[in-house]
Amino acid sequence: MNTKWSAHIRLSLVMLLQYTVWGLCLPVLARYLQDKPGEGGLWLQPPGMRAS
């Protein structure tokens, strides 16, 4: 085996990094999308969930 990392090890690390970044970003993004505009969000909610 070479002293260089094999392709599957490098791809595994990239996938782990990708899931880590998504895991950090999604809760922040979800809150931003669901907050009211007066609170700094976009107030996007599924149909039927929006209060009048």
* Domains in the chain: boundaries: 1-52
* Amino acid identity at 23: G
**pLDDT for the residue 36:** 87
Residue 1 pLDDT exceeds 70: no
The number of residues in the chain equals 52
Read off the pLDDT of each residue in 1-18 and give the average, rounded to a whole number.
85
Mean pLDDT score of the chain, rounded to an integer? 85
Q: What percent of the chain has pLDDT over 70?
A: 87
Q: Which residues of 29-41 are buried (b: 16+ CB within 10 A; e: fewer)?
A: eeeeeeeeeeeee
CA distance 32 to 44: 9
CA distance 30 to 32: 5
Q: Which residues have CB under 8 Å from 1's CB, separation 6+?
A: none
pLDDT band at 27 (very low <50, low <70, confident <90, very high): very high
